[in-house]
């Protein structure tokens, strides 16, 4: 069994066994400062839609509910904890001062619309709610931008997973090349996190 088939089989089985609750919880975590990528959750929920075990409506509803809950938690962290919280505890979630600084610059440059835009940008989407809270952005606007942005992104990934599952035999025909791509991606992620850890240790030394 190749890497791609292994991941697809076991992640899909986990979500299938735990139901919509796992989609909600994982997307809640994804919208906070926890390193849970939506790209590793929503496509496999789409797999289950293709297998008629889930429905698009409920997948999008539960995932978006998780996104708004997680984002609101981060918003309140930003409002009452802010920068000091990330500087003190961020390292436990593989986040550091540079991540927060980049997110703050992005928010400062593009304003409130970044709450919508950043739902499509890795890393920054995990943090963007914090500067929104720090800046005391209007909570209703924040919630609306979050629901639309997260809802679209979750729907897009689910649809990708749906069509991927529908064409799974074709994907498996080229599984060797897909596995190489997945392996390279995983290796790059590991190298990235190791380099960040080394950099952080050097700065704190």
Angle at 16 (CA atoms; ends 11, 20), nearest 5 degrees? 110
pLDDT in tens, 32-58: 877 677 887 888 899 999 999 999 999
**182 vs 79: CA distance, rounded Å:** 38
**27 vs 21: CA distance, rounded Å:** 10
Predicted TM-score (pTM) above 0.75: no
Contacts of 85 (CB under 8 A, 6+ apart): 77, 78, 130
C-alpha atoms less than 13 angstroms from C-alpha of 21 in its C-beta half-sphere:
4
Confidence tier at 119 by pLDDT (50, 70, 90): confident
**70 vs 32: CA distance, rounded Å:** 5
**152 vs 101: CA distance, rounded Å:** 26
Pick from 56, 77, 84, 78: nearest CA to 154: 56
Pick from 51, 117, 160, 35: nearest CA to 26: 35
**202 vs 205: CA distance, rounded Å:** 5
Instruction: Identify the pLDDT of residue 28.
Output: 93
Write down the H helix ranges in 31-55.
42-50
| pLDDT over threshold 60, residue 31 | yes
Which tokens go with 46? 């789409």
Which tokens go with 167? 């064409």
Phi-psi sector, 101: left (phi>0), alpha (psi -120 to 50), beta = alpha
Q: Worst-scoring range by mean pLDDT, 10-24, 160-174, 177-191?
A: 177-191
Mean predicted confidence (pLDDT) in 6-32: 86
């Amino acid at each position: 069994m190749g890497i791609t088939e292994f991941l697809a089989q076991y992640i899909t089985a986990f979500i299938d066994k735990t139901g919509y609750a796992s989609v909600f919880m994982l997307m809640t975590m994804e919208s906070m400062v926890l390193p849970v990528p939506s790209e590793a959750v929503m496509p496999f929920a789409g797999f289950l839609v293709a297998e008629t075990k889930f429905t698009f409506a409920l997948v999008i509803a539960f995932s978006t509910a998780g996104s708004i809950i997680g984002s609101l938690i981060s918003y309140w962290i930003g409002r009452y904890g802010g920068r000091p919280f990330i500087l003190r505890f961020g390292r436990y979630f593989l986040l550091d001062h540079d991540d927060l600084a980049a997110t703050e610059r992005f928010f400062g440059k593009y304003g409130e619309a970044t709450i919508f835009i950043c739902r499509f940008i890795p890393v920054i989407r995990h943090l963007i709610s914090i500067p929104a809270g720090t800046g005391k952005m209007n909570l209703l606007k924040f919630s609306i931008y979050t629901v639309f942005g997260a809802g679209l992104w979750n729907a897009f990934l689910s649809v990708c997973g749906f069509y991927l599952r529908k064409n799974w035999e074709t994907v498996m025909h080229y599984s060797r090349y897909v596995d190489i791509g997945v392996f390279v991606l995983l290796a790059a992620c590991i190298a990235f996190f190791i380099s960040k850890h080394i950099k952080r240790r050097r700065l704190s030394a």
